[in-house]
Amino acid sequence: MNAPEVVRLDIWLWRARFFRTRTLATDHLKGKGARISRSGQTRRTDKPGVAISIGDIVTFGRGEHIRTVEILDLGERRGPAEEAQALYRLLENDT
């Protein structure tokens, strides 16, 4: 079985362990949104089902912090923390 080339943003954020549940990721995106950069173009979205792919840059708020990550892998499940951290590269960390 081939891995998908795209995945929903809310599912990816949950798999990457930025949110404890998929529902929390969905609610966060609906309320606060995120920015997705692809091929030099950035767009804002509040749709949890927006498709993302490897190489996209995602920026989103988490509490008082802003996270900007490059997607390295889409993952196939919500695994342990080490597996989740391999899904992205942190580009900015406003802590």
**Which residue from 76, 43, 39 is spatially nearest to 55, judged by alpha carbons?**
39
Global pTM value: 0.90
Residues of the chain with pLDDT under 50: 1, 95
Question: What does the alpha-carbon distance between residue 40 and residue 26 come to, in Å, rounded to a whole number?
Answer: 25
Question: What does the alpha-carbon distance between residue 51 and residue 63 come to, in Å, rounded to a whole number?
Answer: 24
pLDDT in tens, 69-80: 999 999 999 999
Give the pLDDT score at 64.
87
Q: Where are the domains of the chain?
A: 7-93
Q: Give the position of tokens 């900015």.
A: 92
Question: What does the alpha-carbon distance between residue 65 and residue 51 come to, in Å, rounded to a whole number?
Answer: 24
Q: Please, what CATH class does the domain formed by 7-93 belong to? A: alpha beta
Give the pLDDT score at 63.
82
- The 3-state DSSP class for residue 67 equals strand
